[in-house]
Amino acid sequence: MKRFIFLLLSIVLILSNISCAPVTVYGAEAKSDKAYNNSPQISDSVLEALVDGNNRFAFDLYKELNSQKEGNFFYSPFSISLALAMTYAGANGQTKDEMSATLNFLLADKDLHNAFNKLSVELNNRGKVPTGSLSQGFELNIVNATWGQLGFEFLETFLDILAENYDAGIRLLDYENDPEACRQIINKWVSEKTKGKIEDLIPEGTINELTRLVITNAIYFKAAWLHQFDKESTYDGVFHLPDGTVITVPMMHQHNTFDCTVQNNYTAIEMLYDTYNMSMVIIMPKEGKFGEIENSLSPELLDEILGNLMRSQVNLTMPKFEFESDFGLKKSLISMGMPEAFSDNADFSGITDKISLAIGDVVHKAFVSVDEEGTEAAAATAVIIGVTSMPLETTEINIDHSFIFLIRDIDTGSVLFIGRVLNPLQ
């Protein structure tokens, strides 16, 4: 059965400016002696500070991408932050300062990496559904890997941070002699970790003989709605495009209990997944207000929207949609304030002290599919639970023009995915 799937990958390519002679390798896979710490100890306040910084970067990046991209787009700010956090572990000087300011990495180094570890552990645990649960196969898997040049010397302190906090021992490849084979190996790993949904993530020519390190993060998400859409209730309905024209699209429909709000500038609804601790929030600006809402996206606006939500009986109509996005984020990250990391002046002396390194590119790709089949069994169970509430006033919500959507972890407040839909058929 087809379900709701998000597949996201962030790749940071670290390119050396000059070649180097073969030197020490740490073990068969260049791993440190440190074991992955799957029980990191971190205070709630530190974790909250990390989440706040990540969410601020999420919305800052949305505004930057909005200025460059037309039509629909979808990405995982958490995946991008996580991949760049591993890179940040090797940054020093002005390069580190710029990355810190741009990515909102405002914690001390040890706290930052421990907090990313803690957050990843908590999120991965969301996928461990207890025996006997009625949840319909919920999955949230976050994995990291690093791929280093054979014979290249990586500092042990850098390897320790990757191993202990990101479970990412360095795997050795020979970019110097066969970059194309290396690209295929990494793309195969990507395919396996995303169950074959993303193929050939790294395009030809992106990796070359000067590549020394590739840092990868993959997130695979699969979940069923708490309340299902009856497939027989789906019909061809009207969706209004930004230019004023209308198209006919498959529109799903249901009547159920949701948290929602209708304000002067927007309508919003939160739709739970069947594990109750994750949700999709849909924000549909009123006609003529889309640009205003996009430009004002921030953690504060999200808090305001969530604070306005009220439990209501809802006649909900929304489109099915499916699309993928891919980004080269170099231009965006430079524009947002970290140009030195991509320049000849980059300081990644925390990765190696033998040669100068710089980021060559940051590649991100995402796929999203929403339809009624993803929620059948779990939603039936959730409807039974939901109907125990008191009768509520009915609200009509018809998502029939451009909207913004995000996936968040309710317990931590982390925004994991953000997208917009201007045309469901795009």
In the predicted model, is pLDDT for residue 14 greater than 50? yes
- Considering only CA atoms, which of 277, 279, 242, 246 is closest in space to residue 260? 279
What is the per-residue pLDDT for 4?
A: 42
What is the per-residue pLDDT for 315?
A: 93
Instruction: Give the C-alpha separation, 197 to 54, whole Å.
Output: 26
**In the chain, helix, strand, coil percent, each to 5?**
30, 30, 35
Furthest C-alpha separation in the chain: 73
What are the tens digits of pLDDT across the range 215-261? 888 888 878 888 878 899 999 999 999 988 999 999 999 999 999 99
Instruction: Give the C-alpha separation, 338 to 324, whole Å.
Output: 27
Instruction: Give the C-alpha separation, 398 to 169, whole Å.
Output: 48
Residue 129: pLDDT band (50, 70, 90) is low
Q: Answer positive or negative: Cα dihedral of 29, 30, 36, 42.
A: negative
Report yes or no: 137 and 159 within 8 Å, Cβ to Cβ.
no
Count helices and strands in the chain by DSSP H and E runs: 10, 15
Which residues of the chain form CATH 3.30.497.10? 4-223+323-368
What is the per-residue pLDDT for 326?
A: 83
**Fold assignment, 4-223+323-368:** Antithrombin; Chain I, domain 2 (3.30.497)
Characterize the bridge pairing of strands 394-398 and 310-319: parallel
Query: Where does residue 165 rank: exposed (0-12), middle (13-18), buried (19+ CB within 10 A)?
Result: buried
In the predicted model, is pLDDT for residue 328 greater than 80? yes
CB neighbours (10 Å) of residue 43?
12
Instruction: Give the C-alpha separation, 413 to 117, whole Å.
Output: 16
For the domain bounded by 231-318+382-421, which CATH number is listed? 2.30.39.10
Site of tokens 């299902």: 228
In the predicted model, is pLDDT for residue 334 greater than 60? yes
Instruction: Give the C-alpha separation, 60 to 199, whole Å.
Output: 29
Instruction: Flag the least confident range among 7-16, 90-99, 199-208.
Output: 7-16
pTM (predicted TM-score): 0.88
Which residues of the chain form CATH 2.30.39.10? 231-318+382-421
Q: Give whole-number Cα distances, 130 to 127, 133, 223, 275, 297, in Å.
A: 9, 6, 15, 10, 36
What is the per-residue pLDDT for 117?
A: 96
If DSSP codes are grouped into helix, strand and coil, which group holds residue 301? helix
